Structure 1
Amino acid sequence: MNHNAFNQALKEKSTLIFRYLLKNGATKSDAEDIVQDTLYKALLSIDAIQPEKFASWLFRVAVNQYYDLCRKRKRRPELPMDSIVLISQGALEDELLRKETRKEIYETLGELNPTYKHVLLLKYDFDLSYKEIAALLDVKEDTVKTWLHRARNQFKKAYERMNQNEREGT
């Protein structure tokens, strides 16, 4: 791999990792720090990493650093919500509905098994293929398909349970 292609690959993977960390509740500055540390570690260990596993290695190092940061702070990560741009009353209502739905989805995701949460985010937020997810997580495609099936079922049950609790007032 030539120098320019390697730099482009690093840039693409670091952007993907950064966005993924933000979706999982990292602050912008934490995500930037984690990506920088991950790239630094990658450059230090470049000879020890197999080229075909480089992307999954970067992803795993970044996610582990984020988990370490969360454990260190002993806090539950909050999911960032986008700021609202107000144009008209109709736009305000639409934006509030989208924000409420997004909040419900993220709350439901927070109740899921972490592996299932990750595969759902990678598939539906980042629009990655089964093959790409398998490469990032260093598992077989069939495993990704199984996890996604189970994750969808677990999400559906958790979402229904959450809505049922709201209707009952608990």
Structure 2
Amino acid sequence: MKNDLISKIFMDKMNIIHCYLIKLGCNQEDAEDITQDTFYKALKYIDGIDVSQISSWLFRVAINRYYDLCRTKKRHVQVIINEEIFKSDNNLCEDYIIDLERKGDVLKILNSLNNIQKNLLILKYNMDLSYKEISNILDINESTVKTYLFRARAQFKNKWGVMYNE
């Protein structure tokens, strides 16, 4: 019974963690390595992990491992956004160029936010997770997620307004 539960949790979370690492700016190979290392550690320490907290434990290990990798490579954490979000229905060249510029501006603003704000905005709007799912992943109270997300949106809007003189 315990093995079935572990298998189900791991299969559900493995792809989500991998995609999340890619969205944080991790390259494909490093994301695969970090994901594999995270699940290896989970198997190694499974007896010490509370089953109700395993999701947040997995995300925390993966995020910490990614930040460690960034520190060792001395590079800045960059967010990647799926270009499908910015594609318009009509394929006019002008629209495509404007969409690319908008994507660049969004990335610039996201990368200027602190890691907590950036993570919350990615989890909520790019990965389309609920407040409850985010609170489970980050192991913080749901109302705290709402508050931090409100502040992150306000910070993003403020920087967007400054960029476009609004």
TM-score (norm. length: structure 1)? 0.85
Matched AA of 1:3: N
Instruction: Return the alpha-carbon distance in structure 2 between the equivalents of residues 13 and 25 of structure 1.
Output: 19
C-alpha deviation, 1:6, in angstroms = 2.5
C-alpha deviation, 1:20, in angstroms = 0.8
The corresponding residue for 1:152 is: 153
Matched AA of 1:102: K
TM-score (norm. length: structure 2)? 0.87
Instruction: Return the alpha-carbon distance in structure 2 between the equivalents of residues 157 and 30 of structure 1.
Output: 33
Check the 8 A contact 1:111/1:158 in 2, yes or no: no
Give ranges in structure 1 of 5+ residues lacking alignment: 165-170
The corresponding residue for 1:38 is: 38
Check the 8 A contact 2:79/2:110 in 1, yes or no: no
Residues 83 and 159 (structure 1), Cα distance of their counterparts in 2 relative to 1, 3 Å cut:
closer
SS at match of 2:47: coil
Deviations 1:92-114 (A, max 9, x none): 54443333222211110111121
SS at match of 2:151: helix
Residues 95 and 81 (structure 1), Cα distance of their counterparts in 2 relative to 1, 3 Å cut:
farther
Instruction: Return the alpha-carbon distance in structure 2 between the equivalents of residues 92 and 39 of structure 1.
Output: 44
The corresponding residue for 1:163 is: 164
Deviations 1:79-131 (A, max 9, x none): 446689xxxx9355444333322221111011112101111110000111100
Instruction: Return the alpha-carbon distance in structure 2 between the equivalents of residues 96 and 82 of structure 1.
Output: 16
Residues 110 and 123 (structure 1), Cα distance of their counterparts in 2 relative to 1, 3 Å cut:
same
Residues 40 and 4 (structure 1), Cα distance of their counterparts in 2 relative to 1, 3 Å cut:
same
Q: Percent identity?
A: 44
SS at match of 1:56: helix
SS at match of 2:103: helix
Check the 8 A contact 1:108/1:162 in 2, yes or no: no
